[in-house]
Amino acid sequence: MLTLLLAKLVNFVPEGGIWMNTQRPEWNDANNALVGKGLSVVTLGYLRRFVVFFEQILTEGSPASFQVTQEIAHFFAATDGILKDQAANLKLPSATNNAGS
């Protein structure tokens, strides 16, 4: 399951969606004005649901730890590091920006 999650996360484009290697976003993305950009907001939504589900499995599972291959552990650590390093570059909405609306 971790491998599936990482395969999608490496295609994450901040403030955009998930990069679709086929350049054909899902049908619902046409409603989100992302046609031609190769990004999928729908896939990002599904990824979020998967992360919540995966987190629930990890917290409710009986083993306190589990084993993964060295390659997956390295892949996870590298992906985590990149996302943390770039978090400051994201434009997050603030309450003051919406006050005048």
In a domain, 66, yes or no: yes
Answer with the residue of higher pLDDT: 65 or 54: 54
Q: Are 27 and 66 within 8 A, CB to CB?
A: no
Report how many domains make up the chain: 1
In a domain, 90, yes or no: no
Residue 16: per-residue pLDDT: 73
In a domain, 33, yes or no: yes
In a domain, 97, yes or no: no
Domain around 46: 2-73
In a domain, 94, yes or no: no
Q: Two tokens at 1?
A: 């399951």
CA distance 41 to 33: 10
Residue 99: per-residue pLDDT: 47
pLDDT tens for 3-55 read: 888 888 888 877 777 777 665 656 555 555 555 566 777 778 888 898 898 88
Q: Are 89 and 14 within 8 A, CB to CB?
A: yes
- pTM here? 0.62
In a domain, 101, yes or no: no
| Predicted confidence (pLDDT) at residue 63 exceeds the cutoff of 70 | no
In a domain, 98, yes or no: no
The structure tokens 């985590």 sit at 80
In a domain, 7, yes or no: yes
In SS3 terms, 21-68 reads as: CCCCCCHHHHHHCCCCCCEEHHHHHHHHHHHHHHHHHHHHCCCCCCCC
Phi, psi of 27 (to 5 degrees): -55, -45
| Predicted confidence (pLDDT) at residue 101 exceeds the cutoff of 60 | no
